[in-house]
Amino acid sequence: MSAYVRIPASTSNLGAGFDALSLALDRHLKVSVERAASLRIEARGVDQSLIPTTTDNLIYRAALAAAGMRGRVLPPFLMIIENQIPLARGMGSSAAAIIAGITCYEVLSNDRLNEQDLFRCAFEFESHPDNLAAALFGGLVATAVSDNGTVLVSKPVITGRVAGIVVIPSFELSTETARSVLPQSYSRKDVVYNIQRSALTIAALTSGDWPMMREAMRDRVHQPYRAKLIPGLEEILSLELDGLFGIALSGAGPTVFAFADPDHTDTVGRAIAGIFKQHGVDATSQLVNIDRSGRLVEES
C-alpha cells in the first residue's frame, strides 16, 4: 500500500465566526506514505526543522490514534513530508497534520472511516471543527457540534471577484497561548455583536457584497484579547485602505488574513506588513487562493 496525500492550509474564524467559520487556502501539507520494514519519517519544506521525525510527529500520532480507535495495529511505514504551511502561525498546520495522519491510517490499513468517526478521532488532538472541516472538504465551511457530538458542516459558495492575502509575521504563537488570554465569560452585548457579524459574513461572502465585509469581520470575542500578544494587531485591524474588503486575525494568529480587490493586493499586503515592521516585526505578504478541493488522496 502506498499513497500521496495532500491537505490544504486554512484560515479560521474570519473575524466574528469564532470556532465556526474557516476557509481552505492553497498552501498544502503533502505526504507520501508506504508500508516499510520499520518506521521512518522524513520532513522537507517550510519549517522543516520544527517537524519531528520521531514518534512525536503529529501525523504519526494521529495515525496511531485512528488505529487504536478502530482496534487495529498500525503497520510500520515510510512517510515523506513536503510542507508548505508555516507552523504555529494560525494557518491550520495542526488540523492539516491531523487529517493527514488519519488518512495515512486509512491507506495503510485499507480501513475507511466515516465522517463522524474521522472527526471523533481528530477531536482527540483538536477540539473545534472549523480548521479540520476546511482541511477535509476545502472551500468555505461553517461548522457546529450538536448536543450529541455530531459535527455538522455546511459549504457555502463564495460569490464574486476577490483575492485573499496572508501576512505572516516572523514569530510563532501557539494556539494554547492564544486561547489562554481569552476570558471565561462575555457580556450579552459582545455575544450579540459577534452573532450579528458572523451571520453577516456568510451573507456577504455568498452574495458578493464585498463592501459589507469590512464590518462583518469585526470581532469582540477573541481579537481584542489576543492583540496584546501580537505587536501592531490593533492598528492592523483598524486599517482603512482602498481595495481592502475585510481583515482579521488568521485563526489564533499571529498571521493576518485579508480579503481584497484583486487589483489592490500589493498595496494591501505592503500596508499590513508595514505596520508589523513599525512594531519591530518582520512579516511576509503572500497572495493566496481558495483551495476548493480539500483532502486529496492518490493511491497506488
* 262 neighbors 163 (Cβ within 8 angstroms): yes
Q: How confident is the model at residue 300 (pLDDT cuts 50, 70, 90)?
A: confident
Residue at 299 is within a domain: no
Domain boundary among 156, 189, 221: 156
pLDDT tens digits, residue range 243-290? 999 999 999 999 999 999 999 999 999 999 999 999 999 999 999 999
Domain boundary among 100, 129, 156: 156
Q: How far apart are CA 149 and CA 152, in angstroms?
A: 9
User: Which residues, listed in sequence order, are joined to residue 118 by a DSSP beta bridge?
Assistant: none
Q: Could you give the C-alpha distances from 92 to 121, 237, 287, in angstroms and in order? A: 17, 21, 17
List the domain range (segments joined by +) for residue 15: 2-156
Verify that 254 and 127 share a domain, yes or no: no
Domain boundary among 156, 177, 195: 156
Mean pLDDT score across all residues of the chain? 96
Q: Taking the mean position of all CA atoms in its chain, how far away is CA 155?
A: 15
Q: What is the pTM of this model?
A: 0.95
Verify that 138 and 7 share a domain, yes or no: yes
Verify that 129 and 168 share a domain, yes or no: no
Residue at 293 is within a domain: no
Residue pointed to by grid coordinates 496584546: 228
- Return all residues near 125 (Cβ < 8 A) that are at least 6 apart: 58, 61, 62, 65, 94, 98
